[in-house]
A and B are shown apart, each in its own frame.
Chain A
């Protein structure tokens, strides 16, 4: 039973480019969460999605960031016009039910040059 998959594991983008981070939840899990870990800081919640629905995006920056979890395929976290401050590790987690344990993927480390 494969765990949460994230790709790419490492992503380098120049300022102004777009970054697309993908997350495939564990089999049978329909709840996906994105968290960001800035250098030397703790993990911070960004967004919670179920299939085709954004449930809670209270942690998402108001501009340039968007997320989706389509009916088919992985969840995507999209960052437009990246800036150096977007450099961080982005983690996806999934769970099978509401209010249940969350299982994390290995993360995507984004570096903006």
Chain B
């Protein structure tokens, strides 16, 4: 069974601060996706990383896939109240078909 450990579970910071969310596993993933989920809604895809060591930027968000494709991080620079939400990482296993294994999520609150 593949597992994804996401940390921290909760994060409360002031506007303008930087933060990093981590997603770790002992398993190798063929790709890793980051989603953001608002209350009462479905996850919205932010980015997909595929290659070990890959870095992708989305405005103030920077996503990195570990060299061994077992871990990933999401870094937010100068957080804004609009970044508040639940961030989820999800990995597609090398030998697990197409199912996504989700981390437990990081609930971020950015205070003005």
Chain A residues with CB under 8 Å of chain B are 4, 6, 31, 33, 35, 41-45, 48, 55-56, 58-59, 91, 93, 95, 98-99, 101-107, 109
Give Cα distance in the complex from A4 to B33, angstroms.
18
Residue of A nearest to B103 (CB): A42
What chain A residues lie within 8 Å of B99 (beta carbons)? 33, 45, 48, 56, 58-59
**Does the CB pair B31–A99 fall under 8 Å?**
yes
Please, which residues of chain A bring their CB within 8 A of the CB of B92? 99
Q: Are A104 and B42 in contact (CB under 8 A)?
A: yes
Question: DSSP majority for the B interface?
Answer: strand
Stretch at the interface among B11-19, B43-51, B54-62: B43-51
Verify A43–B43 contact, CB threshold 8 A.
yes
Q: Please indicate the chain A residues that have their CB under 8 angstroms from the CB of B45 in the complex.
A: 101-104
CB-nearest residue of chain A to B47: A101
| A95: nearest chain-B partner, CB-CB | B98
B98 and A56 form a contact (CB under 8 A): yes
- The smallest C-beta distance from A37 to any residue of chain B, in angstroms, reads 9
